[in-house]
Amino acid sequence: MSKRFIRRQIYIPVFAVALLCAAANASAQGSPSPSTFTSKTANSEVKVPDYDVVSVKESKSAEYTMLSTYMSDGFRATNISLEVLIAYAYGIRQDLISGAPGWMSSTRFDLEAKVAGADVDAFNKLSPEQRQAMLQSLLVDRFKLKTHLETKVLPIYELVKEKGRFKIKEAQPSSPNFRGLGPGMFKGGAVTLQDLADGLSSSMQRTVLDKTGIAGKYDIDLKWNPGEGEAADVSADAGPTLFTALQEQLGLKLQPTKGPVETLVIDAVEKPSKN
């Protein structure tokens, strides 16, 4: 039986909820069977249902924007590419996906998946990881998706403490937990430095590892001048680069190095059959 592929949290800004929560140390060939995936919630074991009704159609929209949202009874994505869906379902950055045919990024789809009425209560108790597993199974069923993991040695960054004063404000017990990532900004409440590293990984399209050795939760408001591809502003008052902002605003720095990075290889995929 293949293991399910669940990854560490990443950020995909095109989604309404940019943060994808996941765990490490899992791999997959294809997709998990959600019927075997359970989670402890409020002294009860929640069984992960299958999607009962699934509609997948090529999008006719001329818009660039991709949208997705979870509903009380399912998942909806509009004008979205399969590459982005796979990145979401498998918790991996798009630049770490290889072997994909060109249409996976160029063709857009409208997708709507709903659970049966009897499964709505259970669906609303699922963790983000369980919902990812459901989407993995949907992709295997409708797109005949087959994948495997491959570890490569790639350029990465290590997030370390700069010499001198650590400048991040420790979160109070009453601080709300939230994370937001956009061009030239990371803002989080009651977040760890690993959360910051994950956000920077998405922004830089390069894996960032937390090597600060600093535990705890913090309130972080980091702003920098977005680089090329992030609506760069080259004016004199555009603000610091990300590297400078980390040092000046947080007392942290990024050290370039190389390290093992897990990538997702597409072995087989097909355009979906008509509904």
List per-residue pLDDT tens for the chain, 275 residues long. 333 443 444 444 433 333 333 222 223 333 333 333 333 333 246 689 999 999 999 999 888 889 999 999 999 999 999 999 999 999 999 999 999 999 999 999 999 999 999 999 999 999 999 999 999 999 999 999 999 999 999 999 999 999 878 899 999 988 899 989 989 999 999 999 999 999 999 999 999 999 999 999 999 999 999 865 444 444 546 689 999 999 999 999 999 999 999 999 999 999 997 76
Secondary structure element (H or E) that encloses residue 242, with its range: helix 242-245
Please state, in angstroms and rounded to a whole number, the distance separating the CA atoms of residues 150 and 260. 10
Please state, in angstroms and rounded to a whole number, the distance separating the CA atoms of residues 255 and 195. 17
Q: What is the pTM of this model?
A: 0.74
Which token pair is 115? Answer: 């659970």
HSE-CB for 152 with a 13 A CA cutoff: 15
Q: Classify strands 10-11 and 19-20 as parallel, antiparallel or unpaired.
A: antiparallel
Amino acid letter, residue 143: F
Domain boundaries, the chain: 10-149, 152-261
Please state, in angstroms and rounded to a whole number, the distance separating the CA atoms of residues 20 and 80. 17
> Quick one: pLDDT at residue 140?
96
How far, in Å, are 79, 100, 232 from residue 264 at the CA level? 23, 10, 30
> Quick one: pLDDT at residue 222?
96
> Quick one: pLDDT at residue 275?
66
Sheet containing 74-81: give its strands across.
53-58, 108-114, 74-81, 67-71
For CA atoms 67, 70, 72, 74, give the dihedral sign.
Answer: positive
